[in-house]
Amino acid sequence: MDAVIFDVDGTLVDSERDGHRVAFNLAFEEHGLPYRWDVQPYGDLLAITGGQQRLHAFLEGQGMPAEERRDLVPRLHARKTELFRQLVAEGQVKARPGVHRLLVDLLEAGVRLAVATTGSRGWVEPLLERLFAGIPFDPVITGDEAPIRKPDPSAYRMALGGLGRPASEVLAVEDSANGLVAACAAGVACVVVVNDYTADDDLSGAALVATGFEELDVATLRRAHEAAQRG
C-alpha cells in the first residue's frame, strides 16, 4: 500500500448535511425559489452525484422545463458554491473526528495521499487548505477534471495516473456505495467509512467498513489492503 486516495464529501469532512444542503437552501432563497431541502429528502438526493446533476433531477421532478433548467442550474450552482465557500471560511464545515490523526500517521509511514472527488475545485481546494493545511494531497482530482461523476471510475483512474502507481498498490477511502463502485471499477481496493446518510448503502464490495475514523489506523488499512489483494 504505497498510496491512499480519499474522497472528500462525507469522507474527509462532514459536509453534506450541514454544508452543501445549507448552501443549496440559501441559494434557493436568494433566487426567490420556493424549495427547501430538509435533512432526509436531501439524503435521498445524494444518490445523484454532482451538484448540478442533483439540481437538474430535482427541478425536473418539480416540472421545470429543460430550457429553463439549462439557464438556471449553472447560475444556481455557482452561487451555491460561493455560499458553501463562505461556510467553510466561517468554520461551519468540520473534518470528521480522527481523520487528521490518520492522515498524519499515513504520511509518517511513507504513504502518499491523494484526493478523488466529484466536487468542484472552486470549493475543494479552499476546504483542503483550511482544514488540512500542511497535508500534501497530490494529485487532487475534482469534478472539474473528471466531469463524469461517480460511480464512474474516471476520477480514480486520473488519480492513479497522477500517482504513477498501479491500482494494486493503492487503497481508496470512501463513504458511500457510489464511491465504492467507482474505486472498485478502477481496480482499487476500498475502505468505506460510513456517515448518517450512507450507513444503509450496499457496501458488500468493500475491503472494510467502519463507522468512524477512530476505528482506523495504518496497520488496519494495510491489513484490509492486503486481504483485498489476496481476493
Catalytic residues: 7, 9
Distance CA 175, CA 163 (A): 22
Which of 40, 36, 32 shows the shortest CA–CA distance to 16? 40
Distance CA 103, CA 28 (A): 36
83 contacts: CB under 8 Å, gap ≥ 6? 22, 23, 26, 27
49 contacts: CB under 8 Å, gap ≥ 6? 118, 149, 150, 151, 178
